Amino acid sequence: AGDGAKRLRPRIPAPPVPEGQGGVDEAELRELLPSANVSSVVRLEERLALRLSEPAPFVNIDVWEERVGLLDLGSKVPNRKHLGQCYVPLEQRFNRRKCTWSIVHKGEGGHGPSTEVGFLTCKFVLATTPAPIRHLRAKEGAGPRSSELNLAWDPPVSDGGLPLRGYRIEAREVQYGFQGSGGYLDEPRTASAPPAADPSAVLKNLIGNTAYTIRVWSVNEAGPGPSAEILCHTGAVQPGVCGQPRAADDEAVVGDSTLCVEWAPPLDNGGADVVAYRVWLRPVFQDGLGNFFPSEGFIDLGLFQHQAGPRATQRAPVRLDALPACSGCLCSVAAINSRGLTGASTREAPVVWSSEATRLPQDIWEVPGGDAAPPASGDGSAAWGNSVDSDAAA
């Protein structure tokens, strides 16, 4: 069969299956003949997978004979002759069984009497797409990083009659309130996994602290099966920026030797509760000409535990007698969440307690170097209850 014939060893064909044991008689074969000419022809080589849009009652196999002379050197076109047709019922009782079917030849033009000219033995497999996977879940901890999701699931109950080729995974970011198709806005992130007894996969390059709709389906030679779907959330990220720090005006917390710095918590906690803050001060000095300039070094007041509700104003007391003689300080604050991640520090803001400095306009604090970032605080994973790094903290 095909464009090039193969050398076959002649042998006696297997007899047809007797009637009553799964075979068909000539009357049943006539019922299987199509009422109209077949518009498309599929040439069978050795093994072929056909994907049907809907179940078919039978498959029609055309049998050709090809003859080539022994002395021909390949220049002559082979002589081909159509022997007949074989109709194989696609029924479950013949599935995965070698059965023998009659090759029927009709007269010239296909209008003459039907004649049995031979037998064809074939084996077919009726397969469908696999069943949905089971128990799709995200493993504890979501993933080793905030941009990853570690997924696991159980194989499908049925592989559809064919071995599984693998699994496909798709993640789409959920856009709440978006009026698009299905509430999705971005392109999906995809991955694949090989067939295994305990399949799993890691989705990478995701956005931290974000909800994703995860779809997983198995694939065999017949195609992909139905998908299973869950909603997952990636791990926490660094919290947002706190509100601008300022000197508190509450007389109950401000004394002759104590200053209280206050600020608002960040609007975004990064997906984990804010538990602490780190506060830095940079003294500002005044020279004899009345010019103000900040010091090059920072004073790290250490960690301050988050107090009261999530939106409550936070405060940090400062002992003035522990600070160098200065007219004020530039203050910056950074939040730390329960995952040990430290957010970006605020822009340095003036905290004034000198009576003469309070009469000066605020823009005088925008001196060169006034916007310098505080020293790096590492990865924010310092143990809770660290001692303050300066005696300036009360």
Angle at 38 between CA 35 and CA 39, to 5 degrees: 135
Show the domain range for 183. 134-233
Domain count across the chain: 3
CATH value at residue 253: 2.60.40.10
Query: Six-digit token pair at 261?
Result: 């710095």
222 and 274 share one domain: no
318 and 273 share one domain: yes
Asked if residue 9 is part of any domain, the answer here is: no
318 membership: H or E segment, kind and range: strand 314-319
Asked if residue 354 is part of any domain, the answer here is: yes
Tens of pLDDT, residues 321-356:
888 888 788 899 999 999 899 999 999 988 876 544
107 and 176 share one domain: no
201 and 256 share one domain: no
Q: What average pLDDT does this structure show over 200-214?
A: 92
Tens of pLDDT, residues 242-290:
999 998 876 555 556 678 899 999 999 998 999 999 999 988 887 777 7
Asked if residue 8 is part of any domain, the answer here is: no
Q: What average pLDDT does this structure show over 128-149?
A: 83
Report the mean per-residue pLDDT for the chain.
75
- Given a cut of 80, whether residue 212 has pLDDT beyond it is yes
Q: Supply the pTM of this predicted model.
A: 0.62
Interacting residues of 345 by C-beta distance below 8 A, sequence separation 6+: 241, 278, 280, 332, 333, 334, 373, 374
Asked if residue 178 is part of any domain, the answer here is: yes
Confidence of residue 177 (pLDDT cuts 50, 70, 90): low
Asked if residue 280 is part of any domain, the answer here is: yes
Judge contact between 167 and 176, C-beta under 8 A: no
286 and 344 share one domain: yes
Asked if residue 264 is part of any domain, the answer here is: yes
Determine the pLDDT at residue 170. Answer: 95
Which position has the higher pLDDT, 192 or 73? 192
184 and 75 share one domain: no
Asked if residue 327 is part of any domain, the answer here is: yes
Asked if residue 382 is part of any domain, the answer here is: no
